[in-house]
């Protein structure tokens, strides 16, 4: 006869003895506390054990644990030198990957953990507390979650605590993978998806190619492992070449290594992928890319600041601009007739671009000449400038527009600057440029790329969006690529 009890009696007796022993060893409870009954136990480390999923969990662990059976948490981070807007693109790669991954049986409860924002290279302001920022400071998490199962880092820690952690409360990452590029990407002229683990400290891989520095104490792959509550087990240096789909093989291999048998096959797992910018898009620019991109709605507080500024300084609203911005991104539809406000927007990259891309980045005078030519062509008198220029450069640039109206966004008070931080100011700039009649950006700038994407979603024509500054007025110049939005009304049939 098939036994109705899901666990051996010997196992149950062993568990009960362990519970009784732990209560006896704890001694007298602290003042103003009561001894919890077995059904009231919370945050018990037993909830992580392999027997938990086979016992009547309602009598041992919080009920909220049950839906988390077999959960795989994927943490990731990006090279510390990368900027805000490239990190947004890396998120899209990971979000598309995780959305597809959850259709695999072992990954049906997968969660993508969003890395805290470190203090980035381009965030120059001081005294704003710009380290370890959560994603909800900049993005609408509910909107992100309607595309992919994501958690802000502190939400992940809170959910992990339900399983019980040693004191002080540590998050245990089973395996961390630091991705690096292959020195030679093509074999006999062919690019192949591949990866291999490398011994940390080795100077060459299995094919004799020199490898990049891979040091587990370095933060070059991202400062994620420096988080106070986080501890990790095995650290792997991985030569990686390919799209996000290749990560599935790497993670499946890791799970197999961490599984000893059927007893722990459904245990919760935590893995970390560092230098995730190494991973390529599965299909860049396709409908999956654009679904993830459309879900990246900004935080409501930032949308409101930008809307107020557009109204007060540029006399522009969503209605007058003729853009589409429904309450939910799922309700957006193909559109190409947005008019925009009565102003031109120019994104003029300065800073390191002046040195590293001198051949394609215009001088202030050359940029002003091109902007004024566009203003006359579209019969406009106002230009909004988004730039990382210094205050002195902005003043110099403004003086070149003495017959036109020059507008630039700055926080209206120190309180607002504290709330927005440098990342929020950049987003407000993008939201203002997105509503302009005409836009011109900087060659190879990810900031410009994100504005292109925003305008594509809002419904502007390609001719009013995909424009690039030349090095000089009338000269031959490089142009950014044009990648129009791809729409699909029934995205679920693609998964």
Catalytic residues: 82
Q: Which of 439, 134, 143 is nearest to 294 (CA)?
A: 143
Q: C-alpha angle 386/390/391, rounded to 5°?
A: 90
Q: Are 147 and 295 in contact (CB under 8 A)?
A: yes
Q: Are 116 and 132 in contact (CB under 8 A)?
A: yes
Q: Which of 330, 331, 347 is nearest to 430 (CA)?
A: 347
Reduced to 3 states (helix: H, G, I; strand: E, B; else coil), residue 291 is helix
DSSP string, 228-282: TTEEEEEEEEEEEESBTHHHHHHHHHHHHHH--SGGGTT--EEEEEESGGGSBPS
Residue linked to tokens 């899209």:
92
For residue 470, give both structure tokens. 């030349």
Looking at residue 109, the DSSP 8-state letter turns out to be T
Distance CA(268)–CA(49), nearest Å, equals 9
Measured between alpha carbons, how far is residue 238 from residues 189, 434, 456 in Å? 22, 39, 37
Question: Which strands, in side-by-side order, build the sheet including 405-407?
Answer: 405-407, 382-387, 341-348, 436-440
Q: Are 432 and 384 in contact (CB under 8 A)?
A: yes
Distance CA(437)–CA(460), nearest Å, equals 9
């Amino acid at each position: 006869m098939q036994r109705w009890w899901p666990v051996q009696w010997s196992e149950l007796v062993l568990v009960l003895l362990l519970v009784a022993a732990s209560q006896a060893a704890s001694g007298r409870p602290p003042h103003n506390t009561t001894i919890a009954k077995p059904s009231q136990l919370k945050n018990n480390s037993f909830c992580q054990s392999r027997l938990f999923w086979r016992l009547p969990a309602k009598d041992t662990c919080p009920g909220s644990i049950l839906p988390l059976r077999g959960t795989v948490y994927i943490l990731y981070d990006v090279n510390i030198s990368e900027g805000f807007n490239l990190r947004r693109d890396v998120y899209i790669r990971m979000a598309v990957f995780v959305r597809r991954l959850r259709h695999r049986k072992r990954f049906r409860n997968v969660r993508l953990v969003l890395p805290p924002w470190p203090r980035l290279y381009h965030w120059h302001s001081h005294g704003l507390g710009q380290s370890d920022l959560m994603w909800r400071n900049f993005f609408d998490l509910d909107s992100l979650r309607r595309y992919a199962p994501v958690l802000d880092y502190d939400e992940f820690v809170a959910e992990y605590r339900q399983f019980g952690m040693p004191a002080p409360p540590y998050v245990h990452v089973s395996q961390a993978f630091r991705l690096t590029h292959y020195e030679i990407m093509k074999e006999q002229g062919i690019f192949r998806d591949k990866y291999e683990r490398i011994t940390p400290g080795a100077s060459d891989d299995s094919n004799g190619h020199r490898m990049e520095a891979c040091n587990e104490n370095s933060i070059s792959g991202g400062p994620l492992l420096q988080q106070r509550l986080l501890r990790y087990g095995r650290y792997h240096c991985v030569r990686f070449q390919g799209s996000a789909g290749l990560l599935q093989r790497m993670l499946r291999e890791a799970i197999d290594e961490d599984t000893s048998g059927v007893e722990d096959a459904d245990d919760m797992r935590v893995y970390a992928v560092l230098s995730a910018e190494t991973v390529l898009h599965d299909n860049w620019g396709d409908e999956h890319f654009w679904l993830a991109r459309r879900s990246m709605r900004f935080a409501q507080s930032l949308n409101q600041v930008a809307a107020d500024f557009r109204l007060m300084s540029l006399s522009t609203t969503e209605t007058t601009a003729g853009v589409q911005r429904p309450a939910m991104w799922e309700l957006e539809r193909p559109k190409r007739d947005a008019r925009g406000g009565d102003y031109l927007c120019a994104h003029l990259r300065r800073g390191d671009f002046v040195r590293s891309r001198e051949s394609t980045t215009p001088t202030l005078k050359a940029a002003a000449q091109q902007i004024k030519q566009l203003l006359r062509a579209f019969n406009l008198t106002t230009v909004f400038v988004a730039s990382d220029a210094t205050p002195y450069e902005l003043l110099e640039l403004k003086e070149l527009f003495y017959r036109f109206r020059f507008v630039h966004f700055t926080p209206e008070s120190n309180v607002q600057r504290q709330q927005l931080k440098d990342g929020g100011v950049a987003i407000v700039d993008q939201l203002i440029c997105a509503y302009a009649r005409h836009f011109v950006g900087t060659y190879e700038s990810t900031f410009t790329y994100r504005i292109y994407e925003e305008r594509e979603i809002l419904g502007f024509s390609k001719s009013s969006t995909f424009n690039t500054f030349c090095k000089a007025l009338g000269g031959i110049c490089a142009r950014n690529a044009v990648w129009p939005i791809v729409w699909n009304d029934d995205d679920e049939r693609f998964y």
